[in-house]
Amino acid sequence: MNFLFVSADAALITDLAWQVHREGHDVRYYIEAERDREIGDGFVTKTDDWRAEVDWADVIVFDDIWVGSDIGTGALAQELREEGHAVVGGTPNTDRLEEDRGYAMDVLESHGVDTVEQRVFRDFDEGIEYVRRNRAPYVIKPLGEVQNVKRLLYVGNEDDGSDVVEVLRAYKQAWGHRMKGFQLQRKVEGVEIAVCGFFNGERFVDSVNFNFEHKKLFPGNIGPSTGEMGTSMFWAGRNRLFEETLGRLEPWLAEEGYVGSIDINCIVNEHGIYPLEFTPRFGYPTITLQEESFESSTAQFFYDLAHGNDPDLSVHGGYQIAVRIVLPPFPFTDEKTYDENSRNAAVVFETDSREGVHIEDAKLVDGQWRAAGESGIPLVVTGKGETMQEARRQAYDRVDNIVIPNLYYRDDIGERWIDGDGDRLLAWGYLGPASE
């Protein structure tokens, strides 16, 4: 089969393209961002003009929602589907779920999903005054393009919201020219878990993915927010967590004609399920870990999904974890630091095995794996097992066999489940079958 992968921004789908290629299919990969165009070199075949390959492709796969300020990949995917092409990608309205958090909450509420108290502001002073009048801990979530600067997400700690007021004042001065709006979301305590389903344009695939993000840079969930430092997960059926969140959006997604992965991150406690935000696209490194847990063909799965078929998906029945291997100055941008410490860094393997080692921002030059692009995230390493502890052990044993000067990573991926998150979810009844 012929697969065309289109990356609108940061070459986030390289490993999936490589996996499809390794399964024996023809792959062509387009990267829009000039700074990232070397990513994947040597691993997959590239193209400089993705539109010229559309008629060649049996399946077209988009990796993100962004193209520019005026159009997202959802509009492109919708246009191509209307022309009769098989596409994994969103729609303008599903793109909006991520870029407009207020709209996302409206969609959830209109389908009977309980949401956390939240308000959207376009003016910093109005937001500050709101917190002063309604004293409580809040989460600050930037809207629009600047939400990709992950360190701007701030989770309040003070019961009276005083720290949120001070952070908003600082953001007004430092980011007022770029941050055109933000959401204030009431902070809720509990277990953070994401519910992820694959949608074929009409319905969800029965296997549902449940994953736990680790967004802070350092172990113990300390330090600046990153896109993600690692993920732990397991697969299950349409349980209560699914049916009370994504399951209620099944008719809406069918009306949209959405095809692909859609994820909703939630806080869960003994009182209820509270959705926080959508990822209406592949998550990273979530897709890498999902791909590792597939026990049936990855290419066939996405071919069936894009063609509206019911995929015959077989997945690993235990637990899985993924660890992002990063280089300086991640998660920050500093060209001098990157040039001196990370650019073209060689990846050295101490064993011949590449099991569980996945590429992110990497290239292959004369048989040597090297860091590529500008982000400083060359690899994702995965592990799986009957227990979360077994999955952790396998993943970190694999990490120990990789040598890159100056690499760093979190060594606690999956520990939250072992330390009590799993027991709490079971005790609260969220992982059992959905009630009638």
Question: Is 419 found in the same domain as 339?
Answer: yes
CATH of the domain at 174: 3.30.1490
Query: CA–CA distance from 342 to each of 51, 154, 367, 421 (Å)?
Result: 33, 28, 19, 36
Asked if the structure places residue 123 within a domain, the reply is yes
Q: Within 10 A of 160 (CB to CB), how many other CB atoms are there?
A: 13
* pLDDT higher than 60, residue 69: no
Question: Is 39 found in the same domain as 70?
Answer: yes
Q: Residue 258: which pLDDT band, with cuts at 50, 70 and 90?
A: very high
Asked if the structure places residue 82 within a domain, the reply is yes
Question: Is 154 found in the same domain as 209?
Answer: no
* pLDDT higher than 60, residue 91: yes
Residue with the bigger pLDDT between 144 and 209: it is 209
Percent of the chain with pLDDT over 70: 96
Q: Tokens representing 421?
A: 């998150």
**Whole-angstrom Cα distance, residue 342 to residue 352?**
24
- pLDDT tens digits for range 227-255: 899 999 999 999 999 999 999 999 999 99
* pLDDT higher than 60, residue 435: no
Question: Is 175 found in the same domain as 211?
Answer: no
**Whole-angstrom Cα distance, residue 201 to residue 87?**
10
Q: Residue 225: which pLDDT band, with cuts at 50, 70 and 90?
A: confident
- pLDDT tens digits for range 360-374: 999 999 999 999 999
Q: What is the pTM of this model?
A: 0.90
CATH of the domain at 87: 3.40.50.720
Asked if the structure places residue 113 within a domain, the reply is no
Domain count for the chain: 3
Question: Is 270 found in the same domain as 227?
Answer: yes
Question: Is 310 found in the same domain as 280?
Answer: yes
- pLDDT tens digits for range 13-55: 999 999 999 999 999 999 998 999 999 999 999 999 999 999 9
Question: Is 132 found in the same domain as 8?
Answer: no
Q: Which domain holds residue 35?
A: 2-93
Asked if the structure places residue 98 within a domain, the reply is no
Mean pLDDT computed over 280-296: 96
Using the Cα atoms of residue 119, residue 125, residue 130 and residue 135 in order, give the sign of their dihedral: positive
Using the Cα atoms of residue 369, residue 372, residue 376 and residue 378 in order, give the sign of their dihedral: negative
- The pairing of strands 2-7 and 59-62 is parallel
Backbone angles phi, psi at 414, to 5 degrees: 95, -10
Mean pLDDT computed over 100-118: 90
Question: Is 373 found in the same domain as 291?
Answer: yes
Angle between the N-to-C axes of helices 14-22 and 286-293, in degrees from 0 to 180, rounded to the nearest 10: 20
Percent of the chain with pLDDT over 90: 82
Asked if the structure places residue 54 within a domain, the reply is yes
Question: Is 170 found in the same domain as 53?
Answer: no
* pLDDT higher than 60, residue 436: no
Asked if the structure places residue 325 within a domain, the reply is yes
Asked if the structure places residue 422 within a domain, the reply is yes
Mean residue pLDDT across the chain: 93
Asked if the structure places residue 101 within a domain, the reply is no
**Whole-angstrom Cα distance, residue 163 to residue 160?**
8
Peptide bond into 280 cis (omega under 30): no
